Structure 1
Amino acid sequence: MNVQQVQMRDYSSVLAVFSGVKAALSKEKNDQWKWIYPNRFIHKSDIQSGTMYGIKEGNEYVAVVTLDDKQSKSYQSLVWRDSRGKPGCMHRLAVHPSRQGQGLGKLLLNYAENFAQNKGHTSIRIDVYRINEAAIALYKKNGYVEVGEVRYPFRKYSYITMEKLFFIT
């Protein structure tokens, strides 16, 4: 399976991935992704800016991730290990529930890391909802280290911030 840049013509396919993930999270009483975030404006912006990548099966996306260098303002108060380099950021990694547990998240994670390194980034940063244990375990298993935590509006729990260094800075 190849990872490719998502095009606007595939917008409805991307929405299906996020709708599926949101429904599965809701069943687990996880309010990480609700109607307010991520929303269609964010998805369209990711696609239009060329920062969303995904894995297609047939004509439909089954997993997506956004890669850029945009950091939340909440990150400014944290003490990151990569304090002098050029960090990249990973956002909204989503695997459709029907395809979870098949290595697609790991494939997107590896793609994100290689992509960031090829763009000259010295690390990659992400924040993960505190109760999303599967995602936290995936990142830790792949060398991500907890840096701190941030809070976002309308969320019951905080987000753990994580970072993986590519180069010693």
Structure 2
Amino acid sequence: MIRKARAQDIDAIITITKACAKYMVSKEIFQWNEHYPNRAAFQKDFDRAELYVMELHENTIGCITLSTLMDAEYTPIHWQTKNSNNLYIHRLAVHPEFQGQGFAQKLMDFAEAFAKNHNFESIRLDTFSQNERNQNFYERRNYKQLGEIYFPKQSKKPFYCYELVL
């Protein structure tokens, strides 16, 4: 089940994202670290009512943020649609113990249905240039890679921006 996050979910979300960061580092993917994602980011997502969690047998196993705000880092990208009616996906995570079972697909299905039901023109997101698994995941869902941006606190390597026109 996917639902809006509650304040008490943030601890579980931090546990999930720390486990994901540790797992990625073990695969030599240095996408998440001690700076990101962090409690402040999830608190802001929660305060804006943009944070969702996935539960399995009453345990939180994943999360996703669905935002209408475009980060400043996205400004130089030549998007396929105007910057006016877009949904942005951030901080998609599934605990490593539950990865490979289709839960990320379900979170994305939820996000895409949400975007269509709210008449967004497109969905935009970014993923780390060194995370080929994520790139393939989004490309199989017909997201188009459009350019790269940088988050210096996370990595010296770029993040690729993707868009799906609805």
* TM-score over 0.5 (shorter chain): yes
CA distance in structure 2 between the aligned counterparts of 1:12 and 1:78, rounded to whole angstroms = 34
Superposition RMSD in Å: 1.3
Aligned ranges for residues 43-122 of structure 1 at < 5 Å? 43-83=42-82, 86-122=85-121
Q: Assess if the C-alpha contact under 8 Å between 1:85 and 1:123 holds in 2.
A: no
TM-score by length of 1: 0.92
Q: Assess if the C-alpha contact under 8 Å between 2:10 and 2:39 holds in 1.
A: no
Describe the superposition over 1:93-144 as per-residue Cα deviations: whole angstroms up to 9, x where unpaired: 0010000000001000110111112222110000100011111111000010
CA distance in structure 2 between the aligned counterparts of 1:67 and 1:75, rounded to whole angstroms = 16
* CA displacement at 1:37 relative to structure 2: 1.0
Extract unaligned runs of 5+ from structure 2.
none
Please name the residue that 1:162 is paired with.
162
Paired AA for residue 81 in structure 1: Q
Q: 1:74 to 1:10 in 2, by over 3 A?
A: closer
Matched residue SS, 1:38: coil
CA distance in structure 2 between the aligned counterparts of 1:132 and 1:54, rounded to whole angstroms = 23
Report the number of matched residues: 165
Matched residue SS, 1:46: helix
Tell me whether 1:4 sits opposite 2:12 in the alignment.
Answer: no
Q: Assess if the C-alpha contact under 8 Å between 1:85 and 1:121 holds in 2.
A: no
Extract unaligned runs of 5+ from structure 1.
none
* CA displacement at 1:84 relative to structure 2: 6.2
Q: Assess if the C-alpha contact under 8 Å between 2:5 and 2:53 holds in 1.
A: yes
TM-score by length of 2: 0.94
* CA displacement at 1:59 relative to structure 2: 3.0
Paired AA for residue 118 in structure 2: K
* CA displacement at 1:28 relative to structure 2: 1.7
Tell me whether 1:153 sits opposite 2:119 in the alignment.
Answer: no
Q: Assess if the C-alpha contact under 8 Å between 1:144 and 1:164 holds in 2.
A: yes
CA distance in structure 2 between the aligned counterparts of 1:22 and 1:84, rounded to whole angstroms = 31
Matched residue SS, 1:67: strand
CA distance in structure 2 between the aligned counterparts of 1:106 and 1:159, rounded to whole angstroms = 21
Paired AA for residue 23 in structure 2: A
Q: 1:159 to 1:84 in 2, by over 3 A?
A: closer
Paired AA for residue 140 in structure 1: E
Q: Assess if the C-alpha contact under 8 Å between 1:66 and 1:90 holds in 2.
A: yes
* CA displacement at 1:50 relative to structure 2: 1.4
Paired AA for residue 165 in structure 2: L
Of all paired residues, the percent bearing the same amino acid is 26
CA distance in structure 2 between the aligned counterparts of 1:49 and 1:138, rounded to whole angstroms = 27
